[in-house]
Amino acid sequence: MSSLRRRKPINESSDSKHKAEEEDEDHDDVDADGDDDVNGKNKKTPSKIKKKRGEKPPKQPKWSCMDTCCWFIGCICITWWLLLFLYNAMPASFPQYVTEAITGPLPDPPGVKLKKEGLEAKHPVVFVPGIVTGGLELWEGRECAEGLFRKRLWGGTFGEVYKRPLCWVEHMSLDNETGLDPCGIRVRPVSGLVAADYFAPGYFVWAVLIANLARIGYEDKTMYMAAYDWRLSFQNTEVRDQTLSRIKSNIELLVATNGGRKVVVIPHSMGVLYFLHFMKWVEAPAPMGGGGGPDWCSKHIKAVVNIGGPFLGVPKAIAGLFSAEAKDIAVARALAPGFLDNDIFQFQTLQHVMRMSRTWDSTMSMIPRGGNTIWGGLDWSPEEGNSCAKKGEKKNETQIADQAGSEYAVCKAKSANYGRIISFGKDVAEAPSSDIERIDFRGAIKGHSAANTTCRDVWTEYHDMGFAGIKAVAEYKTYTADSLVDLLHFVAPKMMARGTAHFSYGVADNLDDPKYKHYKYWSNPLETRLPNAPDMEIYSLYGVGLPTERAYVYKLSPHAECSIPFKIDTSADDEDTCLRDGVYSVDGDETVPVLSAGFMCAKGWRGKTRFNPSGIRTYIREYNHLPPANLLEGRGTLSGAHVDIMGNFALIEDVIRIAAGASGEELGGDQVYSKIFNWSENINLQLDEEIPVHSSS
């Protein structure tokens, strides 16, 4: 033991030892220190030690600070390892046991429950993931991305984002002219179920649904994840990766190998639009489409179970494109002003994010469609009269939503003008659309087009945009869904030129017009017909009871030149009109407003309409959001939030029943908590085939 003790000082730097010596011994002197040093170095010569000890008995190599630290760390490590060992040695079912002991027995997951009921795998299932949730991996990159071959750039741990952020941004961006790969970079979607089962470790997307389906017998041969590169425009996924062909081939294979049983398709979020595009593509003749023939869908698809589908776009996409921020970021900025904006580190995070995300065509697929007809004009909106009592507390919100009718019916005197998706200044947002407003509005259009010519090549967005242009935008005061598209054309003409080649945001007057054969209309439900498949079923499953962004109050950003010139005015609050931190909210699933998710199934496609000539049956299944009761539940089994709803037991049960063969009626038909039917009534959209003239208010 003593030898150990004596070895110790050698390992330590003599400095620290000195310090230790000096600290505790008041009658220490320089000599002693020197002596001690010698002792430390030549400890092998016993005579010296003896001599030293004789002189100064108290002198002794002692615990230095470093030693204590080391000892301390060692203790912690050992304890940690011990715990780790115990944890690993623990039977795997232990946590569940504990959970059950605390909260009482958990309800069976729907898979187990339905298996007991005797359900079995019947129809093959196709998952279509949404934007952002699918993994992307690197196949070819620049020097800076060396060693990342076939590693995930998106999804997974995102470790590389922190290690080499600029490199990462460069690889995630697309070419801003073509919307395809930049030269020398190939980033491709991960394929297979792993593509989107977990977004990040522990953050499930499809995993819970997959696990529950597996309980009743689904496996790889009956499930297929239609992973695609969600950054591309839909048609480009086919051009570059032949993704649509692959989906077609895989669906055909699934049907063939499962005894001719049609598939049940489960798209989520943007996947809903993607699959809408697919259904048109697959029946369109060969050069532009898949050449599957006019009855492909009716032969291969039993049901399309849309989860949280932004059929008519999401207002969030506007904020994302316009100023690279959403409610979350705006709130963060309000809490820590200057952190995101500061130039000291030259991070310019938001600018980089904006530059990257503006190269992604897919974000433009989410711009609100249908214009003022759907989203409301200056003075009206379909959600008119929506009261949002205490939207801050989700609990309250949901309780209120439970007693939906009575509470919602109460109309506040002051109602939010949801139609004005972007307003500059709170007063503008609230003011009745008097003549003054209107004049401002018209006048700005003139200035707008004039300014447009002066700042022509506005690729690096606002950086090149003149002050006049920015001012013109702000002078414009308030934007409705129609004028928003013009606004985006103005602030980012190249991006929109790229985007409008692939997407369209209008309402078709006459669906027989041959121009609607072009693929850019295929993902807009208001400009395409559903396929001729009368036996097919379309479901719209979405969460309600969460405040969802619907309109924004903007202001000019104080630093004008080198940053994004607009930002959400987080100071704008109004209890009465659902205005909070500059964002007007309505009912929805936190991302997609009810109107967008539900309108097509509630009205646009209900019965035989011109958008749905074969009368495909539609069902609305809403799920009221309830936050998780306790921490052990994780993200909740009753959640209605956009992504978390994938773990909602009621939704999973519905999906499994459909996959096992149930029809919409057997499921219980519509299940509605929100006022989607009322709101749909407010929308004045021509649905009969005969009169091909749509009227808007």
Partner 1 sequence: MASVLRFRKLCYVESAVKCTSVGYESFEIDEKLDEKEEDVLSANNFALEINKKRKLPKRQPKEWRCLDSCCWIIGYLCTTWWLLLFCYHCLPVTLLRVPELPGPGVRLKREGLTALHPVVLVPGIVTGGLELWEGRPCADGLFRKRLWGGGSFTQIFKRPLCLLEHLSLHYETGLDPQGIRVRAVPGLVGADYFAPGYFVWAVLIENLAKIGYEGKNLHMAAYDWRLSFQNTEIRDHALTRLKSKIELMYISNGYKKVVAVPHSMGVIYFLHFLKWVETPPPMGGGGGPGWCAKHIKAVMNIGPAFLGVPKAVSNLFSAEGKDVSYIRAMAPGVFDSEILGLQTFERVMRMARTWDSIVSLLPKGGEVIWGNMDRSPEEGHVCDFSKKSHSKTSLTTNNVNNSDVKRGFLVKDLANYGRIISFGKPASVLHSSKLPTADSKEFSRTSTSENFNNFSCGEAWTEYDEMSRQSIQNVAADKAYTTTTLLDLLRFVAPKMMRRAEAHFSHGIAENLDDPKYNHYKYWSNPLETKLSDAPDMEIYCMYGVGIPTERSYVYKLSPNSRCKSIPYQIDNSVHGEDGSCLKGGVYFADGDESVPVLSAGFMCAKGWRGRTRFNPSGIATYIREYRHKPPTSLMEGRGIESGSHVDIMGNFALIEDIMRVAAGATGDEIGGDQIHSDIIKMSERINLGL
Using CB under 8 A, pick the residue from 2, 47, 403, 406 that binds partner 1: 2
In the complex, the smallest distance separating the C-beta of residue 367 from partner 1, rounded to whole angstroms, is 29
| 24 belongs to the binding site for partner 1 (CB under 8 A) | yes
Report the relative pairing of strands 223-225 and 263-267 from DSSP bridges. Answer: unpaired
Q: Are 9 and 17 in contact (CB under 8 A)?
A: yes
| 630 belongs to the binding site for partner 1 (CB under 8 A) | no
What residues between 564 and 623 interact with partner 1 by CB under 8 A?
A: none
Choose between 104 and 147: whose C-beta lies nearer to partner 1: 147
Choose between 70 and 389: whose C-beta lies nearer to partner 1: 70
Q: Are 526 and 611 in contact (CB under 8 A)?
A: yes
Provide the H-helix boundaries in 462-524: 467-475, 481-491, 493-500
623 DSSP β-pair partners: 543
What residues between 124 and 183 interact with partner 1 by CB under 8 A?
A: 139-140, 143-144, 146-147, 149-150, 163-164
Q: Strands, E, within 233-300: which ranges? A: 263-267
| 471 belongs to the binding site for partner 1 (CB under 8 A) | no
Helix axes of 46-55 and 30-41: crossing angle, nearest 10 degrees: 160
- What is the rounded CA–CA span in Å between residue 163 and residue 270? 30
| 105 belongs to the binding site for partner 1 (CB under 8 A) | no
The SS3 of residue 608 is: coil
Encoded amino acid at 3, one letter: S
* Residues contacting partner 1: total by CB under 8 A: 64
Choose between 290 and 636: whose C-beta lies nearer to partner 1: 290
Both tokens of residue 411? 């109309």
| 70 belongs to the binding site for partner 1 (CB under 8 A) | yes
In the complex, the smallest distance separating the C-beta of residue 143 from partner 1, rounded to whole angstroms, is 7
In the complex, the smallest distance separating the C-beta of residue 39 from partner 1, rounded to whole angstroms, is 14
Using CB under 8 A, pick the residue from 18, 62, 261, 489 that binds partner 1: 62
Using CB under 8 A, pick the residue from 10, 78, 336, 560 that binds partner 1: 78
Q: Are 551 and 418 in contact (CB under 8 A)?
A: yes
| 242 belongs to the binding site for partner 1 (CB under 8 A) | yes
Candidates 244-252, 260-268, 453-461, 655-663; binding stretch for partner 1 (CB under 8 A): 244-252
| 16 belongs to the binding site for partner 1 (CB under 8 A) | no
| 93 belongs to the binding site for partner 1 (CB under 8 A) | yes
Q: Are 638 and 260 in contact (CB under 8 A)?
A: no
In the complex, the smallest distance separating the C-beta of residue 147 from partner 1, rounded to whole angstroms, is 6
Q: Within 13 A of 272's CA, how many CA atoms are on the CB side?
A: 27
Choose between 224 and 418: whose C-beta lies nearer to partner 1: 224
C-alpha distances out from residue 563 to 343, 385, 491, 502, Å: 10, 37, 14, 29
Using CB under 8 A, pick the residue from 191, 671, 682, 696 that binds partner 1: 191
**Other Cβ atoms closer than 10 A to 456:** 9
Both tokens of residue 180? 């395809």
Q: What amino acid positions are annotated as catalytic residues?
A: 269, 589, 642
Interface characters, 246-265, with partner 1 (x: CB under 8 A): x--xx-xx--xx--------
What residues between 28 and 57 interact with partner 1 by CB under 8 A?
A: 57
Using CB under 8 A, pick the residue from 21, 36, 67, 283 that binds partner 1: 67
| 511 belongs to the binding site for partner 1 (CB under 8 A) | no
Q: Longest C-alpha distance within the chain, in Å?
A: 115
- Can you spell out the DSSP letters for 385-405? T---TT-S-HHHHHHHHHTHH
- What is the rounded CA–CA span in Å between residue 225 and residue 207? 11
- What is the rounded CA–CA span in Å between residue 624 and residue 672? 9
Q: Which residues bind partner 1 (CB under 8 A)?
A: 1-2, 4-5, 8, 11, 23-24, 57-58, 60, 62-63, 67-78, 88, 92-93, 139-140, 143-144, 146-147, 149-150, 163-164, 186, 188-189, 191-194, 197, 207, 210-211, 214-215, 219-221, 241-242, 245-246, 249-250, 252-253, 256-257
